[in-house]
Structure 1
Amino acid sequence: MEFSLPQWGQLITFIMIAFALGMDAFSLGIGLGMRGMVTQQLFAMSGTIGIMHILMPLAGMTLGRHMNEWVGDIAVWVGGGLLCFLGGNMLWSSLKEASASSIGSVTTFWGMLVSSFSVSLDSLSAGFSLGILSTDAPLALGLIGFFGGLMGGLGMLLGKFLGSWAGNYGEALGGLILLLLGFKILM
């Protein structure tokens, strides 16, 4: 199959957008990986991030351009607030040596869902923008989901390595990373 010049341009643009949206997942992955995830949890979390990175831009495309500015601002605040909450909870539980079933735990379904949702909210805004343009939606959504899951998984692998290197302070450092990422999004 041969692409025309505009199709190549659209593909390269989608890859750059997908990579940029995956950077939040990568940062989240580092913070979560420092908690000492097992391989099964890593794959489950990567898959959840990938799915949310497909669903959120799809919702954005569906909602359309009339709500772009209003929902875009809310998405930033909600995503940043959730990351601050998760990071603060991880930091607090590491300092208080709370049980592994805390709210910030990614071993639970809800923990995975909240974490994935928080880093996928920027994909909602990107979906609004892609919905305005005449784009190849399946290609865009596939690339965004693939890069989100892949980069989240790579971040978790790196975080797992850093967590074993950091010892007992890995969870606290991971929580601090998530907290700082949340503040960065809110600023």
Structure 2
Amino acid sequence: MEFLIQELVTLSIMAFAVSMDAFSVGLGLGLAPLKIKQVFRLGLTVGMFHVFLPLAGIFAGRLLSDQLGFYTTQVCAVLLIAIGLEMFLGSFGRNRRKKMLFPKGIGMIMSALSVSMDSLPVGLTLGLFGSKTALAVLLFGFFSCILTWTGILFGKTMKGWFGHYSQAFGGSILFFLGLKLLLP
């Protein structure tokens, strides 16, 4: 029972961290004149991508786990550190998106896919580590959906003050989770 609670807490922290970029995008989109229907659809679309991409990563990770065996924890740690660094540095770099696609039709799908791509390698890490698949993808979908909606609503009131800092925060969490795995 204690292991299940630890895994639930760890997966929730990871899902929260990976979903921070969805919050960040939501902050930016909160400045746009969105209808409640668009806000609802966008949150669900981001949530779906945060379910399917980690699920694909988990299955790939499980396949690789058989080959990596002993090195699984080290590989997981290095992947989390790399993803965390990329999220953190990307939030301050020149490569940050200057213009957001409007969240309608293909723009909504592209926005949702762009903020969900980092969940694929995290899913790979979870698969290597042997996490509970259903729990992991449900938490990823839940947190990303809720944080997208929260970001949009918060963005409407705060007018985007925190934007890229939320992605940096999420990257920091993944980085330190990776360090915790790597160091005894």
Q: By the TM > 0.5 criterion, same fold?
A: yes
Q: CA RMSD in A?
A: 3.3
Provide the residue aligned with 2:112 in structure 1. 116
- 1:119-130 matched pairs, under 5 angstroms: 119-130=115-126
Find the residue that maps to 1:89 and give its secondary structure: coil
| Distance of aligned partners of 1:36 and 1:161 in 2 relative to their CA distance in 1, 3 Å threshold | farther
Structure 1 gaps, min length 5: 91-103, 164-172
In the aligned structure 1, how far is the partner of 2:95 from the partner of 2:32?
Answer: 16
> Which AA in structure 2 matches 1:47?
L
Residue equivalent to 2:176:
none
Deviation, 1:125, is: 1.3
Counterpart of 1:127, as a letter, is G
**1:24 CA displacement:** 0.9
Match of 1:135 in 2: 131
Match of 1:95 in 2: none
User: How much has 1:119 moved relative to structure 2?
Assistant: 0.9
Are 1:16 and 2:13 matched, yes or no? yes
Gaps of 5+ in 2: 69-74, 172-184
Q: Which residue of 2 is the match for residue 61 of structure 1? A: 58
Comparing 53-62 and 136-145, the one that deviates more: 53-62
Q: Distance in 1 between matches of 2:138 and 2:36?
A: 24
TM-score, normalization by structure 2: 0.69
- Asked if the contact 1:37/1:160 (under 8 Å) is kept, the reply is no
Q: How does 1:66-85 map to 2 (within 5 A)?
A: none
Q: What is the distance in 1 between the residues matched to 2:12 and 2:97? A: 29
Partner of 2:99 in structure 1?
89
Amino acid at match of 1:30: L
Query: What is the one-letter code of the residue matched to 1:57?
Result: P
Distance 1:7 1:21 in 2: 21
Alignment of 1:106-185 (within 5 A): 106=103, 108-163=104-159, 177=163
Q: Within the alignment, does 1:29 sit opposite 2:26 as a pair?
A: yes
Rg bigger for which structure? 1
How many angstroms does 1:85 deviate by?
Answer: 8.0
For residues 22-81 of structure 1, the C-alpha deviation after alignment (integer angstroms, 9 at most, x for no partner) is 1111111000111121111100000011001101101211223489889x87xx69xx6x
Identity score, percent: 33
Name the SS of the counterpart of 2:6 in structure 1. helix
Q: Supply the distance in 1 between the matched residues of 2:55 and 2:145 (Cα, whole angstroms).
A: 16
- Could you list the runs of 4 or more consecutive aligned residues of structure 1 that deviate by over 6 angstroms after TM superposition? 66-70
SS in 2 for 1:34: coil
